[in-house]
């Protein structure tokens, strides 16, 4: 994997405090706060997963490296441009993951609410596919409404967790304690109501992948649409902001 020079527009997720840490391939020992317009650099050659600034050309690939495998440390998303020496490798969606010597932040925002809503959307799309194929227990459906109530601040985290545990046991008893393949789709309900937004998306996407209900490229398109709308609403930013002063080499990464 040879390094190439140029620029690449990417997605990158980070901790809720918007900081990068030394264990995240940075030479600095102290946390580095990321802000829009900032360019971070390293002098050494980038080494994927070990040293350098990372990102992915698809938002879903920035969240999960493969269905069921979490890639993001937190729910804060940044739109960034990688510059300098860049190493790329194929992502599971057909695009690229990359590691570079420079990364310029165009905008960033906390996407927790959007990620939770996206995980619920995944579940509802799976439900549409399941009509006439599998039995769906009414208590499971109630979890979706409960999570939306939690997002609005109308029920507590403890109350939501209790409802999830109760639904799990009801389903387990209903199938006689046997976790048959025909009832595995019920896991999508429990997974989607996780309190951690990144894990909620990861688990919901895994279930979608398992049942082949929605192509991953469509999932990614929906997620990116929601993230871009959030950035425009909260930060007043778009993909074009800040790009005027960044070298852009079309065709470098086909």
Per-residue pLDDT tens digits for 185-234? 454 456 667 789 998 898 888 777 776 778 889 999 999 999 999 998 87
Report, as an integer, the average pLDDT of 171-195: 57
Average pLDDT over the chain, rounded to an integer? 80
pLDDT, greater one: 233 or 9:
9
State the pLDDT confidence band at 248, using cuts at 50, 70 and 90: very low
- What local confidence, expressed as pLDDT, does residue 225 receive? 96
The model carries a pTM of: 0.84
Q: What is the pLDDT of residue 236?
A: 66
What's residue 130's pLDDT? 66
Q: What's the confidence (pLDDT) of residue 135?
A: 56
- The token pair that represents 76 in the structure block: 């804060």
Select the highest-mean-pLDDT range: 37-41, 70-74, 126-130, 211-215.
37-41
User: Average pLDDT, stretch 106-119?
Assistant: 95
If one compares 47 and 194, the residue with the highest pLDDT of the two is 47
> Is residue 249 very low, low, confident or very high in pLDDT (cuts 50, 70, 90)?
very low
pLDDT at 136: 56
Q: What is the pLDDT of residue 254?
A: 32
Q: What is the pLDDT of residue 33?
A: 93
């Amino acid at each position: 994997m040879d390094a190439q020079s140029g620029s690449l527009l990417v997605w990158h997720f980070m901790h809720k405090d918007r900081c990068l840490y030394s264990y995240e391939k940075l030479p600095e020992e102290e946390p580095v706060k990321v802000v829009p317009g900032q360019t971070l650099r390293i002098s050494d050659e980038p080494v994927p997963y070990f040293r350098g600034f990372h990102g992915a050309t698809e938002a879903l690939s920035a969240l999960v490296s493969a269905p069921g495998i979490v890639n993001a440390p937190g729910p804060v998303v940044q739109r960034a441009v990688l510059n300098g020496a860049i190493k790329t490798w194929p992502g599971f969606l057909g695009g690229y993951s990359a590691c570079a010597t420079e990364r310029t932040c165009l905008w960033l925002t906390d996407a927790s609410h959007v990620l939770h809503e996206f995980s619920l959307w995944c579940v509802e799309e799976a439900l549409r596919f399941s009509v006439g194929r599998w039995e769906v227990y009414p208590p499971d459906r109630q979890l979706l409404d409960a999570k939306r109530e939690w997002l609005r601040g109308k029920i507590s985290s403890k109350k939501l967790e209790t409802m999830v545990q109760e639904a799990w046991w009801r389903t387990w008893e209903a199938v006689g304690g046997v976790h048959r393949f025909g009832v595995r789709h019920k896991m999508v309900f429990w997974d989607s109501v996780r309190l951690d937004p990144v894990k909620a998306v990861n688990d919901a996407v895994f279930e979608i992948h398992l049942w082949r209900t929605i192509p991953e490229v469509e999932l990614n398109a929906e997620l990116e649409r929601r993230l871009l709308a959030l950035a425009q609403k909260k930060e007043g930013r778009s993909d074009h902001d800040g790009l005027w002063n960044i070298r852009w080499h079309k065709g470098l990464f086909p």
